[in-house]
A and B are shown apart, each in its own frame.
Chain A
Amino acid sequence: MGSRSNWTDDEADLLGRVRESWHPRLVPPLIRGYELGAEIGRGGQGVVYRAIQLSTGREVAVKVLDPEVSNRRDRRFALGLELAATLRHPNIATVHDRGQTEDGRPFLAMELVEGTPLAALGPVGRPGPLARLESALAVFRQIVAAVAHAHQRGVIHRDLKPGNVILDPSGRPLVIDFGLARPVDGAALLGGATRTGEMLGSLAWAAPEQLEGRRDEVDTRADVYALGGILFHLLTGEPPRRAAGSVTATLRRLTAATAPDLRARRQAAEEAHGLPRLRLPADLVAICDRALAPDPADRYPTAEQLGEDLDRFGAGAPVTVLRHRRGYVLWKAIRRHKLRTAAVAAAVLVLAGSSLFFSWQRDLARAQAEERAALLAGLLDTYQVVLRTAVDGTVRLAGAGPMRRELVDAAYASFADFHRRFPEEREVRFLLAQILDRRASIARRRGETDLSRRLQLEALGHHRDLAAADPERTEWQEALALNLVKIGDLDKEAGRIEPALERYREALRIDQALSDRHPRDPHLLDNLFWDHHRLAMVALESGLADPAPHFARLRPLADRALALDPNRTSSLALRYQANHALQAWAEARGDDEEAIRLARIAAADARELVAREPGRTNYLQKLLLAQRGLASALTGNGRPAAALVQLDQALATAEHLVEAEPEVLDFVHDLELTRLVRARLMIELGRLDLAEQEVAAVAELADRLAAAGKDNFDYASTPAVARSLRAELRLAQGRREEAAADARAALRILRESCLEGPRSDRLERNFTALLAAAGYGASSDGTPSGG
């Protein structure tokens, strides 16, 4: 269609378009009142020229903005620029004038700053103006003052970085480009791929909330973060987080929620560049860490407060980070020691923790009523930090088990004492119950089921009283329900199904009421989901109740949670769990096609979960269950060879899990079960040599489990099951007598382990059937019954 390009015939129009849309110019634009000279720099926002302001005769830097950047339509940008132009500070490059070029582009005439950008200087120890720590800190203090000045006038820089601070020949730092930053965030980075290099340069210095595009959270604290980055650069010569590689990988790395280790990075820089050894003072490290805290709430609220702390540090006074929030220090310690050996970490933490509590207890006893409330609030706040980071936060961490245990035991001792002294304080009581819960969980993970149950029942007393005392406290109601569920789990594991179902039902009633009251809280949906899930599965396994109504609720609940926030990983985990459970149900109903379909969906979701959080054993475990589930569905559908392929993958996942956390018996049990299923399948496929090895491996794992967890039915029954497995193999090999001997041994081990209940009965029936299949009667004396 010729008419499509007819518009190019109109010369004036075409030239107008060139003027509008074509920026990289060969000649400087014309600006009334200025004589433009050479180009000094070119960046994402426009081109900077050296120029003479004709009215005053002074040399200035003129920045001509790309229309795209100044975006005629963006009022916020214009407002920021207007405010920035009013800033007057010895360490901020002054904006003298603003206006439009002859061809209609906006420009700024700024103080011409000659010198070296900080990006080309440092770190401390390298010859140059910033070689000494004192001089680098003096320069940094001025930069902080400049930013504080801007903050007081409502101007946020948003793109602070060593490249935007120029050190003039007299040693004075000047911050440039106030008011010019386009919002930096992940989306902007991807969108601005034509300028990827430059954007990546900015990204390394941007605060996590900017990178994640949480635009409404970007405030003065984003600049505080960037100032922390500049300090980091002065001390190490590098940004706190490196930006390199692909865009998505970079984003992931940059938004990682761990603070960089300043001392370690300094040391690495010293080794890499042959710099003199510098002992970084702990207070300075603490200041830098607080400025660089991933969560804005943990940072200095403004540059001014950062500056005040620097002054205190300079004067040798205690800095606020170390004085102000004891919980924060503890949190830091945990972060820091997380990567070292668990033993060291445990020792440090327990010491730090208990001395802290002692000092608090002393303060509290002496304090007046109103003061007491404040002290108590501080204590509880700190304790929450300990629970959440030191205990819950390390659950996924290999080797942290002993540390968790010591920490929780120490905490329990001091808190029980607290509760005795201040029995009226409900918050103390609530925390005490939470600590009991953590102790119980730790005991359970170690297979100490009875102890775990006792602790949970003790917690239940507290939870019931608290929930009755204030029915409006969602947190307390929720905790009561969770406590009930955990007791139910312990009952179920011990084979007490009816009591377990009762506990679950009570929890369900509480969680349903909570979710009805707050329908948009995904967390409450999680709880509700898990109540239904437990009821459905236990009903299905035991046959003591109807599972159908509970199964029917699973997917709608997961979908509702995902609808509230499609990116929430735990909601995705719910959907996985729903499909996985429904698959088990389909199998139980004999609907194998449906089971395979559901298993595939579940496995895909599980893979996505692991991909999103590869370090999380919890999700690895889900992947394992999904792989095994798919194998089981395929077997049920008469496709054992395909199932075996799935099981090979499952085995790899299971081994990975045990490797990650060897002390967690659940994972060992997972590995044992996976091998058991594999062995059965190999027997079925007639691959008896392979099965022989697998059976031996199962026996070994079973002994390990039984030795570690006598009170746990799953663990204690494994040796008997392993023996019966060998009987199955012998039977397939046609070695009937040996098969019968193994089946009898299985029966004997089962009886000796004193396990009772319907599951035990079922096992006994299975073993007896095996014995019969080997050609021997049900009697344990082993007389041949015929054939």
Chain B
Amino acid sequence: MDPDDPAAAARRPDRPPAPLDPNSTQEEFLLALADGADRDAWEAFSARYGTLIRNFAGWCGLPPTDCDDVVQEVYLSLLKALPGFRYDRRKGRFRGYLKTATRRAAVALRRRRAAEPLPLERVPPPVAGRAGDSGPDLDEAWEREWRDYHVRRAMARLQPEFNSTDLAAFERYAIQGRPPAEVAAEFDLHLDQVYQAKSRILRRLRELVREQIEDEG
């Protein structure tokens, strides 16, 4: 790109920093992680996977601050494993790594916490029923959090593509479950437009999720 091209110069500031952008590809993301300064790399990682890891750790029974520790653990271990992912982009490799690293960190921290005496105020939530360190429960929980992560990211990505009325109608009708006629009246739309908003947004959501999973590696 010609650096003197005024059009290019005008476009540039519009682009958010690549690693934090939910639209950046996994390749860009991993690159940013490898090249970034401490803080940038960490923020890119936390923005992309922080909630997923935190939620999963929370499911394991860890209190919020411990969940934050798990995010850090996974980040640090990923940094070490990074070169492997940048040169070997086989399907499922990254995803499998993330799952293993998160599970390992969460379970280790939970064990450590279980060994510590707790002050009364910090009685841990009961972990019965999800107490196992492995097994179908844990897999299921991970799968659920992982899907939520993709939905969250895809929802963030599709926002700019739709007008706000469509999005609001989608929210009222599809998410909050209000009757379509009520929604049409609230936003001054045709009934058809309400249905259409839902199906268009839902279709785009599916596309984006599939694209993300494909790209994830």
Which of A's residues lie within 8 Å of B, judged by CB?
1, 4-5, 7-9, 11, 14-15, 17-22, 25-27, 29-30, 68, 71, 73-77, 102-103, 182-183, 185, 187-188, 190-194, 196, 213, 215-216, 246-248
Contacts and interface: CB of A to CB of B under 8 A. Distances in A.
Contact of B51 (A1, A68, A182): A68
A5 B55 contact: no
B91 A14 contact: no
A74 B64 contact: yes
Given A5-B210, A71-B58, A193-B43, 17 more contacts: A4-B92, A7-B147, A14-B202, A18-B205, A19-B175, A26-B167, A68-B55, A73-B59, A75-B125, A76-B122, A103-B175, A185-B65, A187-B69, A188-B65, A190-B72, A191-B69, A248-B38
A318 B119 CA distance: 38
A194 B50 contact: yes
A216 B113 CA distance: 13
A76 B121 contact: yes
21 contacts: A1-B92, A17-B148, A18-B205, A21-B149, A21-B155, A26-B167, A27-B171, A29-B176, A71-B64, A73-B58, A75-B123, A76-B63, A76-B122, A76-B123, A102-B177, A188-B68, A191-B65, A193-B42, A194-B46, A194-B51, A246-B38
Interface string B167-188: 1100110111110000000000
A191 B54 contact: yes
Nearest to A154: B121
Nearest to A156: B121
Given A14-B205, A19-B175, A192 B58 contact: no
Contacts of B58: 71, 73-74
A76 B164 CA distance: 38
Contact of B206 (A14, A22, A74): A14
B118 to A, nearest CB: 9
B213 interface: yes
Given A8-B210, A182-B64, A193-B42, A68 B54 contact: yes
A8 B47 contact: no
Interface string B102-124: 00000000000000000101110
A392 to B, nearest CB: 33
Closest 3 CB pairs of A and B: A191-B68, A193-B46, A21-B148
B99 interface: no
Interface string B28-62: 00000000001100110011001100110011010
B47 A194 contact: yes
Given A25-B171, A73-B58, A4 B65 contact: no
B86 interface: no
A7 B39 CA distance: 35
A512 B51 CA distance: 50
Contacts of A8: 205-206, 209-210
Given A71-B58, A73-B59, A191-B72, A22 B43 contact: no
B170 to A, nearest CB: 9
Interface of B: 38-39, 42-43, 46-47, 50-51, 54-55, 58-59, 61, 63-65, 67-69, 71-72, 91-92, 119, 121-123, 125, 147-149, 151-152, 155, 164, 167-168, 171-172, 174-178, 202, 205-206, 209-210, 213-214
A18 B148 CA distance: 7
Contacts of A5: 209-210, 213-214
Interface hub of A4, A5, A18, A20 (most chain B Cβ within 10 A): A18
A71 B59 CA distance: 10
Contacts of B151: 14, 17-18, 21-22
Contacts of B64: 71, 74, 77, 182-183, 188
A150 to B, nearest CB: 15
B168 A27 contact: yes
B68 A192 contact: yes
A135 B39 CA distance: 42
Contacts of A1: 91-92
A21 B206 CA distance: 15
A29 B171 CA distance: 9
Nearest to A4: B213
A356 to B, nearest CB: 38
Contacts of A182: 64
A18 B168 contact: no
Contacts of A25: 171
A25 B122 CA distance: 33
Nearest to A17: B151
A198 to B, nearest CB: 14
Nearest to B50: A194
A17 B205 CA distance: 12
A279 to B, nearest CB: 42
Nearest to A184: B65
B68 A187 contact: yes
A26 B149 CA distance: 20
Contacts of A183: 64-65
Contact of A246 (B39, B51, B71): B39
B177 to A, nearest CB: 8
Contacts of B91: 1
A601 B152 CA distance: 47
A490 B40 CA distance: 54
A196 B47 CA distance: 10
Contacts of A75: 123, 125
B20 to A, nearest CB: 9
B176 A103 contact: yes
A83 to B, nearest CB: 11
Given A5-B213, A71-B58, A193-B47, A15 B63 contact: no
Contacts of B125: 73-75
A191 B50 contact: yes
A268 B104 CA distance: 51
A503 to B, nearest CB: 42
Contacts of B67: 191
A187 B59 contact: no
Contacts of A193: 42-43, 46-47, 50
A222 to B, nearest CB: 13
A225 B58 CA distance: 30
Contacts of A187: 65, 68-69, 72
A130 to B, nearest CB: 35
Contacts of A15: 174-175, 202
A247 to B, nearest CB: 6
Contacts of A194: 43, 46-47, 50-51
Contacts of A19: 175
Contacts of B155: 18, 21-22
Contacts of B178: 30
B94 to A, nearest CB: 13
B165 to A, nearest CB: 9
Contacts of B172: 27
A183 B175 CA distance: 31
Contacts of B42: 190, 193, 247
A247 B39 contact: yes
Contacts of B177: 102-103
Contacts of A11: 202
B67 to A, nearest CB: 7
B192 to A, nearest CB: 18
A1 B50 CA distance: 25
Nearest to B205: A14
B176 A102 contact: yes
Nearest to A21: B148
B206 A18 contact: no
A357 B69 CA distance: 50
Contacts of A20: 148
Contact of A216 (B55, B72, B119, B171): B119
Nearest to B116: A216
